[in-house]
Amino acid sequence: MGYLEELNESQGVAVKNIYGPTMVIAGAGSGKTRVLTFRIAHMIEQGVDPFNIMALTFTNKAAREMTERIGEIVGDGEARNITMGTFHSVFSRILRMNADRLGYPSNFTIYDTQDSKSLLKDIVKGFNLDDKAYKANNVLGRISSAKNNLISPEAYEKNPDIQAEDKMAKRPEMARIYKAYANRCFNAGAMDFDDLLYKTNVLLRDFPDVLNYYQQKFKYILVDEYQDTNYAQYLIVKKLAAVYENICVVGDDAQSIYSFRGANIQNILNFKKDYPDFKLFKLEQNYRSTKNIVEAANGVIARNKDQIKKTVWTDNDEGSKIKVIRTLTDNEEGKVITNKIYDKVKAEGLSFNDFAILYRTNKQSRSFEESLRKHNIPYKIYGGLSFYQRKEIKDLLSYFRLTANHNDEEAFKRIINYPKRGIGKTTLENVIIAANQYGVTPWDVISNFTQYPVAINAGTKKKMADFATMIKSFSAQLNTLDAYSLAQEIAKSSGILKELTTDKDKGPEEVERYQNIEELLSGIKAFVSNQGEEDSKSLSEFMLDVALLTDADEDKDEVKNHVTMMTIHSSKGLEFPNVYLVGLEENLFPSQMSLNSRSDLEEERRLFYVAVTRAKENCTLSYATSRFQWGNLITAEPSRFIEEIDPKFLRHESPVRGGGRSLSKRMTTQERPHQGGLNRSFTSSSLKPINKVSSKSNVKGSDTLELKVGFMVEHNRFGKGKITALEGTGADRKATIFFPRHGAKKVLLRFADLKVTDI
């Protein structure tokens, strides 16, 4: 059990106590994931059947990394037998296995936020309601809150308090909308993200045999980030653990920052009430940050009343004091921080990816974007438009969805006339109206106009019938072709690829759309290649993976030479050598909306604690004394959180104004990062050199021409290896790579996504 020697005393005790209710309170940077991983490995080493273990995380990436690490200790075979994943991914699979109990098809579609909003807009319009009073975002938030609190449409309608709230908010028809939304989703064979938890609770509540089966199957339950669980998640876990009570929750109440998503900090604070005989372990040694950062953060969070007391400490160096920068305006704040980053990179030989700019709200990114762009510093914004939310990607994914589930109404509406096939908006509305009148789906209508007559001319009916025939031909191949082969077939036969390549006057945006489709197909190819022999390689399985991606599963961990920009909420779980926490002003951070209650203010303070503890070596706080809001220049005051830090941990700096050359002039042509096309959106993937391979660069497409025998490369699955042979040309070029742990592997270079580590 050499792995236990890697743990400190507190971690070791938490890992070895594998029976009974257990709570592990893990301070920032204290090795929480390591404890959770080693605890599972230790359970298996002690004879626990991995089939009896369920581990719930908040990102798929965390689940994959933990499974790989457990596999290194106990073997890949045992690790793969653990039920590990996010709440939504684990329970979506349980729902698919028992979908018939709830009247759903096993291949039900999972609606994302965009799908849900589109459906709600359709419902509001159908009810002739004011779309300003019933904004899709607000309506969806209300429905989401109801589901997270396990309130059904029927219970919602009958609850007088809820009805009074809706009348006060001037949305008296909310109950009718909620009921219509639930019915339309059900008829479409679709669940939204909240349904994956809501319906699981219904399944376990209404079918005791199902509950008993999973109680006996999951005798050991582990939950990561327990402070972020909502009521629905809490109740599922409590039900499943009721028989054996071998439940271990890991988290940090000081990092509970997601109440706006329904997270309830009381779940972790009240764990001792649910399990009076529980064991408590505290991980208090911080391995991430300097003493100054740790102690400064401790002093601030100590002001919160609702918390589990702990004293986080570190053996790391004392480090630099936390810097505080005051600027006159928000625009000047952007310029000053940009100069600080550039000067530090030049003086210390650092990479741009050693830096993160964190802010309270996305709108604050503007001044920093402008300044970074002017000075040719590459950056990437996280929390912007996800790859899978781009139009061309959603279009192709909708073809995939309708292929797997003909009743998927949102997918149907999106692609019935894309690429254009002469089916107008009015025609589509008539089909949907008819479907609602007959209580069926739009697919049923276009598949049988005889049974469901609609006032549409014969030519248009034929176009719709041809569309249905095409989709059916795709469906016939769902179980015979792997995901990549079928995806290629759909992309070609649907006309999407042709649509994106026939335009003679293609601009940068059109080229990027085509490249995005190419990237999606490459991702599907990689999915097929990485599936084990016994794993499904079908398009349906790939779609399940895509549907369950979370924000945190985007490529935040890719090491590229760019400054990272994101909201503090998005930064949770990440760390950076240098963190710039900007916009530290009253009414901005803490938010003005948080000043009405102590609980809200304490959550803002926890958010500040999370932000500061992202920093490993240097933390800089900045604020402006004036800021533009809604076109007006307002006077701003420094945040109370700055005042709450003991002055001995702070160093106030004054920005240098005037004098010296501008940053852009100080950078020579050779010093400036390669831009590779400034017209592309800076929120997309960071820019790459063209036809050039450099140390630690990702290698794709034409870049592979520069690869040579003897290069050391890194593969996302097999790790580091050495190229021993190259063959073929162009798109068919292959490399034989020897990986010390996996032996020689032959890979197709255009899909391999290699990273050169040494030349």
Which amino acids are annotated catalytic?
32-33, 224-225, 255, 614
Report d(CA 61, CA 66) in Å as an integer.
Answer: 9
Report d(CA 267, CA 308) in Å as an integer.
Answer: 12
Paired sense of beta strands 322-329 and 712-715, if any: unpaired
Is the preceding peptide bond at 419 cis, omega within 30 degrees of 0? yes
202-236 burial: b if 16+ Cβ within 10 Å, else e: bbbeeeeebbeebbeebbbbbbbbbbbbbbbbbbb
Query: What kind and span of H or E run contains 279?
Result: strand 279-283
Report d(CA 154, CA 600) in Å as an integer.
Answer: 31
Is the preceding peptide bond at 590 cis, omega within 30 degrees of 0? yes
333, exposed or middle or buried, with CB in 10 Å at 0-12, 13-18, 19+? Answer: buried
Report d(CA 348, CA 341) in Å as an integer.
Answer: 11
N-terminal to C-terminal alpha carbon distance within the chain = 37
Backbone angles phi, psi at 381, to 5 degrees: -100, 130
3-state SS, residue 622: strand
Report d(CA 35, CA 48) in Å as an integer.
Answer: 17
What are 222's strand-pairing partners?
Answer: 55, 248
> Helix, strand, coil % (nearest 5) of the chain?
50, 15, 35
- Alpha-carbon distances, residue 41 vs 29, 58, 81, 460 (angstroms): 21, 20, 12, 61
Determine the residue type at 601: L
Which residues, at least 6 apart from 730, have a Cβ–Cβ distance to it below 8 Å? Answer: none
